[in-house]
Amino acid sequence: MTNNEQSDVLVVGGGMAGLAGALAMRSNGARVTLLEQAPEFGEVGAGLQLAPNATRILQRWGLLDKVIEVGVKPRNIVFRDAVTGEELTRQVLGGEFEERYGAPYVVVHRSDLHRVLLEACREAGVELINNVRVESVETVATAAGAAVGRVRSAGGEVYTADAVLAADGLKSALRAAVSTDTPIGSAYVAYRGTVPITKDTPAADLEDVIVYLGPDCHLVQYPLRKGELLNTVAVFKSPSFARGEEQYGGVDELEEAYRDCVPQVKAALANLGKNIRWPMYDREPITEWVNGRTVLIGDAAHPMLQYLAQGACQALEDAAVLEDITNARVFRGGDADDTAWDAALAEFAAARAPRTARVQRTARVWGESWHVSGVGQVLRNLLFKARRGSDFHYTDWLYGHGTESKAHRTESKAAA
């Protein structure tokens, strides 16, 4: 199929990336079918931070108000030393910050964001199909000689489309079309939980995202659902990972990991769900995201450690950039031949891969700086405390990316 609104797009995976990609393609006029392996759509886990590079996109899609309605706009991000409790630095999130980046910082329950995206897909007319586990994808020629992506499911079903968006997450089966690499364990494990905020919840910092930094561990807390829920994430380095144990990071290691932390951090461990743990993985950045008519998006393309809170934000960026590029190349005024999709997918990968590689690499280094001890901890604290509240140097490249804002001009200057 060529440059018209008859294009068919298949999306594999119904997480944040798949739903955002489906919505973006549908808004360009494509017929979109999304295949999800789970029997129902949904998200497991707790809160999600959405920085302005993501909320600008939700704003553009007319979804930001719906997300804010069920989320919270925190007042500050505050970093504290987990061992002394001392405040190290804070980023004020309203006022100048919001003005600079053109959209707010929002925290939302991931199931709420997922529902907003799912409803938007339904309303837009995306065909949503559950219980289909995709096993393989290839690009073949139709009888008329046009290239199409062909997907096969575990149940033997075959689907074809002009383009296939592989949004099947960290353990992506479709990534095999472009790379033989595997996820890399970081030795860190996360436990998460939400509890109702009651009159007995310690009042300190209930309007902020608080990050406590400790040796080989950190703990993040913020309110969700209009301040009804308190979200807690505890991440620590598992000793049993170093011993090569397969089931590393059990509950037995959790309390031990926080033994030197201040009482409010230790007390927060009670808020965690103990029956699911999330071992933290990423992958090395790759530049090849495209094979024929298949393109990777979201964690399938660029899984990252969560220290910058950017995995889902980058998935939204993927969708928005793909929307713009395919709109120009395929849907409106594109080349009137079968190569329009090929050119669009190549341009998309070339635009996105350097950006997401930088985020992946920075997330690793940022995490390392959080978990230091001894002299490293002293130096880290000095550096954090020396940062001025109005210093946007560390965030312009991330939150101002792709805008014509002052932040973007600063970013461009720094890159030059």
Ligand X SMILES: Cc1cc2nc3c(=O)[nH]c(=O)nc-3n(C[C@H](O)[C@H](O)[C@H](O)COP(=O)(O)OP(=O)(O)OC[C@H]3O[C@@H](n4cnc5c(N)ncnc54)[C@H](O)[C@@H]3O)c2cc1C
- Could you tell me the smallest distance in angstroms from the CB atom of residue 42 to ligand X? 8
* Catalytic option among 159, 191, 222, 258: 222
- Could you tell me the smallest distance in angstroms from the CB atom of residue 378 to ligand X? 28
Two tokens at 185?
A: 């364990």
- Could you tell me the smallest distance in angstroms from the CB atom of residue 369 to ligand X? 18
Q: Report the helix count and the strand count for the chain, using DSSP H and E.
A: 13, 18
Q: What is the three-class DSSP state of 56?
A: helix
Q: What is the three-class DSSP state of 91?
A: strand
| 308/386 Cα distance (integer angstroms) | 20
- Could you tell me the smallest distance in angstroms from the CB atom of residue 325 to ligand X? 19
CB 51 within 8 A of CB 316: no
With respect to ligand X, which residue has the nearer C-beta, 89 or 314?
Answer: 314
With respect to ligand X, which residue has the nearer C-beta, 170 or 357?
Answer: 170
Q: Which residues in this chain contact ligand X in the complex, by CB under 6 A? A: 12-18, 35-38, 48-49, 133-134, 167-170, 173, 190, 233, 278, 298-299, 306, 309-313, 315
Containing 281, the helix (H) or strand (E) segment is: strand 278-282
- Contacting residues for 246 by C-beta, under 8 A, at least 6 apart: none
- Could you tell me the smallest distance in angstroms from the CB atom of residue 74 to ligand X? 12
With respect to ligand X, which residue has the nearer C-beta, 38 or 187?
Answer: 38
With respect to ligand X, which residue has the nearer C-beta, 148 or 272?
Answer: 272
| 189/203 Cα distance (integer angstroms) | 28
Sole residue written with tokens 């808020």: 271
- Cα separation values, 87 from 82, 93, 382, Å: 9, 17, 11
- Could you tell me the smallest distance in angstroms from the CB atom of residue 283 to ligand X? 12
With respect to ligand X, which residue has the nearer C-beta, 169 or 193?
Answer: 169
CB 348 within 8 A of CB 341: no
Residue 239, Cβ neighbours under 10 Å: how many?
A: 15
With respect to ligand X, which residue has the nearer C-beta, 205 or 299?
Answer: 299
Would strands 106-109 and 8-12 be described as parallel, antiparallel, or unpaired? unpaired
The 134-141 sheet, strands edge to edge: 134-141, 147-153, 158-161
- Could you tell me the smallest distance in angstroms from the CB atom of residue 359 to ligand X? 10
Termini Cα distance of the chain: 40
Q: Is the dihedral of CA 204, 210, 215, 216 positive or negative?
A: positive
With respect to ligand X, which residue has the nearer C-beta, 169 or 334?
Answer: 169
- Could you tell me the smallest distance in angstroms from the CB atom of residue 246 to ligand X? 19
- Cα separation values, 176 from 16, 296, 352, Å: 21, 10, 19
With respect to ligand X, which residue has the nearer C-beta, 3 or 403?
Answer: 403
DSSP 175-218: GGGT-----EEEEEEEEEEEEE--TTS--TTTTSEEEEEETTEE
Q: For residue 399, indicate whether it is catalytic.
A: no
Question: What one-letter code names the amino acid at 299?
Answer: D
Alpha helices in 247-391 (DSSP H): 251-257, 263-268, 311-326, 340-370, 374-386
Instruction: Name the residues annotated as catalytic.
Output: 222
